[in-house]
Amino acid sequence: MSENINIPQVTIINTRPSDHLLLLLGGLGTFLYVIFFLIRTEYLSSFLCLFTSIFLIYKYLENIKSKAKIIISQDGIQVVGQPFVSWAFVHGLQIRPEVKGNNYSETLVFTNNGRIQEIPINTLAITAWQLEELLNTYQERFRESIVEDEDF
């Protein structure tokens, strides 16, 4: 198998930023009530609406940031927030398609130390075929490193 030299030693796959525009709309709409209540000199209501507005806008800004989800290297895979797992302990690695009604989705599924990991690919900032290419390349590098170690 020819290895893609354009793939780095370590790849960090981020989550796809979600755009909950309703949070932004709610925050800005609530801010209009702040102005309304200030004009009517209802300071308590104005303060509560200001707090709600800031909270909703903060949640919106938090959701649009992408965060690291998976770290892949020739040594193994790590789901952020969980321990690193060597390729030697990863079993049943597959990208499973799922069709529910009119919705098509794909899920990265693998087992490590008896624990099944399922990660929806539509939440990641990568396509299924790109992820599959990365996984194949890193696993091939891992197998080649084992062969090289045995030769010495």
- Please compute the mean of the pLDDT values over residues 28-57 and round it to a whole number: 93
Range of the domain at 52: 21-63
Same domain for 145 and 81: yes
Same domain for 72 and 106: yes
Same domain for 147 and 105: yes
Percent over 70 (pLDDT), the chain: 95
pTM over 0.85: no
Tell me: the pLDDT tens digits for 73-85? 999 999 888 888 8
Same domain for 104 and 92: yes
Mean per-residue pLDDT over the chain, rounded: 88
Nearest to 7 by CA among 119, 121, 132: 132
Same domain for 41 and 95: no
* Cβ contact 17:64 at 8 Å: yes
Tell me: the pLDDT tens digits for 104-113? 999 999 987 7
The angle that helices 21-39 and 43-63 make with each other, rounded to 10 degrees, is: 160
Residue 150 pLDDT greater than 60, yes or no? yes
* Cβ contact 125:14 at 8 Å: yes
Same domain for 139 and 112: yes
Same domain for 133 and 98: yes
Same domain for 120 and 58: no
User: Maximum CA pair distance of the chain?
Assistant: 82
Residue 2 pLDDT greater than 90, yes or no? no
As to burial, measured by CB atoms within 10 angstroms (0-12 exposed, 13-18 middle, 19+ buried), residue 33 is middle
